[in-house]
Structure formats: structure tokens, C-alpha cells
């Protein structure tokens, strides 16, 4: 059951009405449910059970410190892709020994810091990156724990922009040449080979591509074992989808059960990096209708949230449900819900059947993942506030940006000493 529900015709987040949240914190505001994040994380943790391994929440999905701290309190691990995400996890009280460091372009500085705090594993995505890590580890007098992220060439059956496990994608090392790279890594005094990793894409709605990739990884792990390279864990990445619009993605518990069965008797730990399946349906974007504008072609509802607040519709033509916080009187009509940004691609939803009136509050659902984290200041718009609801309590986990925040670090250029005519 969702943590966002109607009570007497008004939408609530857990025990707090969204009308009250809008009144207290203004709009646009991201609203998160603590119960949802905890429940979704716990499904993964319970399914892993006593099997050695880690559930490493993918920080990029929602990196708010409030969210990270509640997951850290539950004992979660974290999947990070930058030095910035590493510092966020540390600030939130996350355990560095439960961090896996993914990403195709790690800098030497990021590697140094990750070695210093003692991350669990570097997911290395290329031979060049392995070379850099080896050099940095040597300089620090350390031995870097490594998985190679292999590209298993599996079609994840998802949007092409978020498919990552095909040969044509930039991610990972071709599985065919991986044994050679493993031999090089295993021979290095500054690298400790501990695992193998893949991540084939995001918003997958079938288990089959995951199992396909897993089978290929297991063949590789067995081949490496024959050559004396014994892996400790297998990291299957994230990618499990959620329901945005009628999809029926597998439940995390069923997915993990299928994976565990495939692992069989092998002494291999398991790491997963779920992002969306923990966060997406734990959040919504609260926005208010500014104007209604009818043209010959379309009805536009201009709201105070825009593509800078949630880029997913503009970037992937993604659908997220948009519902009234309190239904308005009158006939439902067809509306395009658009923001104030100067782009035709600035929309939150098209062709929505709603009864609307100016001033009305709307909620864009399934916005807990890749919502705020992909937001920007385009059109010099302050980024939204973020509020975490826990039962009947609300926590402002990120204050709305101010105009002063937006110009911080910028400067004016001095006036020219000479005028044009004198030049």
C-alpha cells in the first residue's frame, strides 16, 4: 500500500495532509515518506537474509542527507559515483566499508579519498582506470579492493538512454576481454581482486535480462576460479523498475530469490545497488497551478514546478501520474501540465484529464528517484525544498534555495578604465 493516500478527499503523506505541507513550506516542494524508503530497503535486506553481501543503495537516485541518514541507520551500504556522493554518505553517517564506488571517470583525487576512508570496493570500468587506481594505491601504500565492471552485452529492454549493458554503451569492460584484465589486476601488488560487477540498465520490468547477465557473470567467475582467481562477491548493480504507468515490475523479493537460486552452492557473496526501486514511489513533487491558459490547440495548466525541478519528462518523455491534492469542482478536461521555463520541452505531463482551477495544488507522483537529484537552476530558478514525513512529523531536509544561494561564487567584471572612443 502506498504511503500517499486520500483522506476525506485530500491527499496525505503518511499522517500529514499535503495542503498543510504546502502552507508551511510553500511550493514546489519534494515530499518523501520515511516509511516507504525503510520498507523498500528492508525488502531487499530481508531477501538477502544471512547470505553474505550488501544492499548498496544507489545514492544518485536521491542523495538528500535526510534520506541517506535514515538508510545508514538501517545498516544500508551505498553505491556512489563521485567524490561528492562519497562525502554525502560520510556526512550522513554511512559506513565507508559498505560503500562500492562505481562510475566510468573516477579522478585520482576521488580514488585517494576513497582509499583513505576505506571503501569496500572500486567497480573498475576500464583498463585505463585500473592503471590509474594501481598508481594511486601505490602512492598511498595501499592495496585497492577491486571488482571489474563487465559489460555482458545483454539487452535490458528499457529506454535507450538508460540501457547500459550493451556492447555499444560506454560502461564496463567487454566480458570477452575481462579474463585478460583480471590476470593483470591479480598480478598487481597494489590491487586486490575481490569481485565482478555489472549493471545493465535502469527501470527493468522483467527478471530475465538480470538472470541472463548473471549467467554470463557466473561463467566468467568459474573461468577465473579455474585460473586461480577466486572472487568473493558478485555485484549485479541496480535496475529493478517501478510502476509509473501500468508496468508490472517484479518484486524485489522475487528477483532476489531467483538470483540466489541461480548462485546455488557457490561461495559467492552478493551485492545489489538498487536506487529507483527504493526511492521512486517514496516521493512526490508538490506544485501549485499558477494560470490556466486555453488555446485553439491545447489547454495549458501553468504550474510553479518545471523541467528544472523534474527533468524526466523532458529527457525521456517519461510519464509520472499527476493528481490533484484536493479535487476541484467542475468538468474534467484534457490539460498539458507545463512549467514557467522558456522551453517547449518544459512539461511535467501531457494529455492529463483533470478538473483544474488556478491556485490548486497538484502532486506529481513517483518522484522520489531521479527527481531532485537531476534538478538544476535553469532560468535562475531556485531549487525546490525537500520535506521528509515520518508519521505525523515533518522535517525540512533541504531548505528552498534563495537567490543569494544562486549567485554564490559569481562575480562582476570591473568596469573598463577607458571608454570605447578613447580606445
Ligand X SMILES: Cc1ncc(COP(=O)(O)O)c(C=O)c1O
With CB under 6 A as the rule, give the number of residues binding ligand X. 15
Least spacing, CB of residue 235 vs ligand X, in Å: 9
The residue within the footprint of ligand LYS, chosen from 104, 140, 162, 225 (CB under 6 A), is: 162
Residue nearest to ligand LYS (CB): 370
Enclosing H/E stretch for 338 = strand 333-338
Binding mask 201-230 toward ligand X (x if CB under 6 A, else -) reads -x----------------------------
Q: How far is the CB of 162 from ligand X (least distance, A)?
A: 6
Q: Is 121 an annotated catalytic residue?
A: no
From the list ligand X, ligand LYS, none, partner contacted by residue 125 (C-beta under 5 to 8 A by kind): none
Stretch touching ligand X by CB under 6 A, among 131-139, 272-280, 289-297, 331-339: 272-280
Indicate which residue of 56, 121, 140, 342 is catalytic.
342
Contacts with ligand X, 100-119, as mask; x by CB under 6 A: --x-----------------
Tell me which of ligand X, ligand LYS, none is bound by residue 312, counting a contact when its beta carbon lies within the kind-specific cut-off of 5 to 8 angstroms. Answer: ligand LYS
Give the three-class secondary structure for 9: coil
In whole angstroms, the minimum distance from the beta carbon of 306 to ligand LYS comes to: 16
For residue 264, the 8-state DSSP code is: T
Helix axis angle for 127-140 and 178-187, nearest 10°, is 10
Give CA–CA dist 190/137, Å, rounded.
6
Residues 6+ apart with CB under 8 A from 249: 204, 205, 240, 241, 242, 243, 277
Task: Using CB under 6 A, pick the residue from 4, 57, 182, 370 that binds ligand LYS.
Answer: 370
String of DSSP letters for 165-213? -STTSSSSEETTTHHHHHHHHHH-TTEEEEEEE---BSSB--SHHHHHH
Question: Which residues fall within 8 angstroms of residue 66, CB to CB, at 6 or more apart?
Answer: 32, 386, 388, 395, 397, 398
User: Which is it for the CA torsion 262, 264, 266, 272, positive or negative?
Assistant: positive
Give the annotated binding-site residues. 239, 273-276, 312, 316, 343, 370
239 makes contact, choosing from ligand X, ligand LYS, none, with CB < 5 to 8 Å by partner type, with ligand X
Cα separation, 279 vs 285, whole angstroms: 13
Task: Tell whether residue 237 is a contact of ligand X (CB under 6 A).
Answer: yes
Of residues 190 through 249, those in contact with ligand LYS by CB under 6 A are: 202-203
In sequence order, what are the beta bridge partners of 300? Answer: 293, 336
Measure the CA–CA gap between 138 and 60, rounded to whole angstroms.
Answer: 30
- Report in angstroms how near the CB of residue 151 gets to ligand LYS at its nearest: 14
CB atoms within 10 A of CB 376: 12
Question: Residue 290 class from Cβ within 10 Å (0-12 exposed, 13-18 middle, 19+ buried)?
Answer: middle
Secondary structure of residue 357 in the 3-state scheme: coil
Among ligand LYS, ligand X, none, what does residue 11 contact (CB within 5–8 Å per kind)? none
Position among 149, 312, 352, 398 found at the interface with ligand LYS (CB under 6 A): 312
Under the criterion CB under 6 A, does residue 249 sit at the interface with ligand X?
A: no
DSSP-derived secondary structure for 141-172:
T--EEEEEEEE------S-GGGB--STTSSSS
Asked if 276 touches ligand X (CB under 6 A), the answer is yes
Binding site as annotated, residues for pyridoxal 5'-phosphate: 239, 273-276, 370
What grid cell was written down for 232? 568473493
199 lies in the site for ligand X, by CB under 6 A: yes
Q: Which three cell numbers stand for residue 413?
A: 567584471
Q: Counting contacts by CB under 6 A, is residue 149 touching ligand LYS? A: no
Interface with ligand X (CB under 6 A), residue from 3, 14, 153, 273 = 273
Closest contact distance (angstroms) between CB of 313 and ligand LYS is 10
Binding site for ligand X (CB under 6 A): 58, 61, 79, 102, 199, 202, 237-240, 273-277
- Residues carrying an active site annotation: 342
Residues found near ligand LYS in the complex (CB under 6 A): 60, 162, 202-203, 312, 370, 374
Amino acid at each position: 500500500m502506498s504511503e500517499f493516500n486520500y483522506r476525506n478527499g485530500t491527499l496525505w503523506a503518511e499522517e500529514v495532509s499535503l495542503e498543510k505541507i504546502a502552507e508551511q513550506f510553500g511550493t514546489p516542494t519534494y515530499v518523501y515518506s520515511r516509511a516507504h524508503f525503510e520498507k523498500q530497503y528492508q525488502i531487499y535486506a530481508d531477501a538477502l537474509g544471512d547470505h553474505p553481501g550488501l544492499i548498496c543503495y544507489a545514492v544518485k537516485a536521491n542523495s538528500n542527507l535526510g534520506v541517506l541518514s535514515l538508510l545508514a541507520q538501517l545498516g544500508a551500504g551505498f553505491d556512489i559515483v563521485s567524490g561528492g556522493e562519497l562525502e554525502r554518505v560520510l556526512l550522513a553517517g554511512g559506513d565507508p566499508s559498505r560503500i562500492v564506488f562505481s562510475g566510468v571517470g573516477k579522478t585520482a583525487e576521488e580514488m585517494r579519498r576513497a582509499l583513505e576512508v576505506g571503501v569496500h570496493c572500486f567497480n573498475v570500468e576500464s583498463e585505463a582506470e585500473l592503471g590509474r587506481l594501481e598508481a594511486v594505491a601505490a602512492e598511498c601504500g595501499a592495496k585497492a579492493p577491486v571488482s571489474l565492471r563487465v559489460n555482458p552485452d545483454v539487452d535490458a529492454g528499457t529506454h535507450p538512454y538508460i540501457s547500459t549493458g550493451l556492447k555499444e554503451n560506454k560502461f564496463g569492460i567487454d566480458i570477452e576481454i575481462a579474463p585478460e584484465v583480471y590476470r593483470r589486476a591479480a598480478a598487481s601488488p597494489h590491487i586486490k581482486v575481490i569481485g565482478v560487477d555489472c549493471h545493465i540498465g535502469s527501470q527493468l520490468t522483467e527478471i530475465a535480462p538480470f538472470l541472463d547477465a548473471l549467467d554470463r557473470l557466473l561463467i566468467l567467475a568459474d573461468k577465473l576460479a579455474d585460473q586461480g582467481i577466486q572472487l568473493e562477491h558478485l555485484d549485479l548493480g541496480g535496475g529493478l523498475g517501478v510502476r509509473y504507468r501500468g508496468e508490472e515490475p517484479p518484486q524485489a523479493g522475487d528477483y532476489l530469490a531467483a538470483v540466489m537460486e541461480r548462485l546455488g552452492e557457490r561461495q559467492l557473496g552478493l551485492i545489489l545497488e538498487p536506487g529507483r526501486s527504493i526511492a521512486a514511489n517514496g516521493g512526490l513533487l508538490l506544485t501549485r497551478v499558477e494560470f490556466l491558459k486555453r488555446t485553439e490547440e491545447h489547454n495549458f495548466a501553468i504550474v510553479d514546478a518545471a523541467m528544472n525541478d523534474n527533468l524526466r519528462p523532458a529527457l525521456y518523455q517519461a510519464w509520472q501520474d499527476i493528481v490533484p491534492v484536493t479535487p476541484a469542482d467542475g468538468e474534467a478536461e484534457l490539460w498539458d501540465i507545463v512549467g514557467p521555463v522558456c522551453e517547449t520541452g518544459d512539461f511535467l505531463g501531457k494529455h492529463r484529464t483533470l478538473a483544474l482551477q488556478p491556485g490548486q495544488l497538484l502532486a506529481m507522483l513517483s518522484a522520489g528517484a531521479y527527481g531532485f537529484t537531476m534538478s538544476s537552476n535553469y532560468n535562475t530558478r531556485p531549487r525546490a525544498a525537500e520535506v521528509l514525513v515520518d508519521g505525523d512529523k515533518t522535517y525540512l531536509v533541504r531548505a528552498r534555495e534563495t537567490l543569494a544561494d544562486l549567485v554564490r561564487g559569481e562575480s562582476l567584471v570591473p568596469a573598463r578604465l577607458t571608454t570605447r572612443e578613447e580606445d
